[in-house]
């Protein structure tokens, strides 16, 4: 007898999980950051903010992805009235770092084994030379925007962030604490205030 996985049950299971997380005022930013993840995250933030202005926990475990989608999540976290608590879990890389910075510094946490990655934005450009030049200029603008944000949120100089993010710059939780990305490393939910 051969058993086949029932793929039709997956969306219902995921919706049930999301509903239970929303009951606890928790939003998960997991996996590749793209337009779909941004839309889902922003919708959840707006729903929770409409219900009450109690704190919302945002758990981030992401390799990064689409920069503008990440900025949309970051901006909405700053926009709503509910206080935001961020928790890095696993890895917080690339545009995941600005999403983490959507919370005030005192409300940014990390689990002990989380790793953080700063690096410059990348992108492929093709076509005519003028189009390639425009794409390169946009990447440089994005890089500066991200570096200024990280410097402002961590207390590091813009020059240091620029130098650190020139290549892949990995930090463990203790190094991220020292750098100013997070306020505290936590082992349990009771340690988050």
Greatest CA separation for the chain = 64
d(CA 161, CA 168): 12
Is 143:120 a contact under the CB 8 Å cutoff? yes
- Is 110 catalytic? The answer is no
The reply to whether 66 belongs to the active site is no
CB atoms within 10 A of CB 107: 20
CA distances to 50, 109, 156, 182, 184 from 178, rounded to whole Å, are 35, 13, 10, 8, 10
Q: Which of 62, 94, 110, 165 is catalytic?
A: 94
**Given 119, 122, 165, 193, the catalytic residue:** 119
Q: Which residues are catalytic?
A: 94, 119
């Amino acid at each position: 007898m051969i058993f086949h996985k029932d793929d039709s049950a997956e969306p219902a299971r995921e919706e049930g999980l999301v509903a239970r997380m929303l009951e606890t005022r928790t939003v998960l930013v997991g996996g590749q950051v793209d337009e779909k993840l941004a839309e889902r995250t922003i919708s959840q933030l707006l729903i929770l903010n409409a219900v009450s202005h109690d704190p919302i926990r945002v758990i981030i475990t992401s390799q990064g992805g689409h920069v503008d989608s990440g900025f949309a999540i970051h901006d909405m976290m700053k926009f709503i009235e509910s206080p935001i608590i961020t928790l890095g879990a696993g890895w917080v890389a690339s545009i995941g770092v600005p999403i983490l910075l959507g919370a005030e510094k005192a409300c940014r946490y990390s689990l002990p084994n989380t790793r953080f990655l700063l690096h410059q934005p990348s992108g492929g450009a093709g076509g005519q030379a003028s189009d390639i030049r425009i794409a390169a200029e946009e990447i440089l603008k994005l890089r500066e925007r991200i570096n200024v944000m990280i410097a402002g949120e961590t207390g590091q100089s813009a020059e240091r962030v620029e130098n650190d993010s020139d290549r892949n710059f990995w930090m463990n939780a203790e190094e991220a604490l020292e750098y100013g990305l997070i306020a505290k490393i936590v082992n349990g939910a009771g340690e988050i205030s």
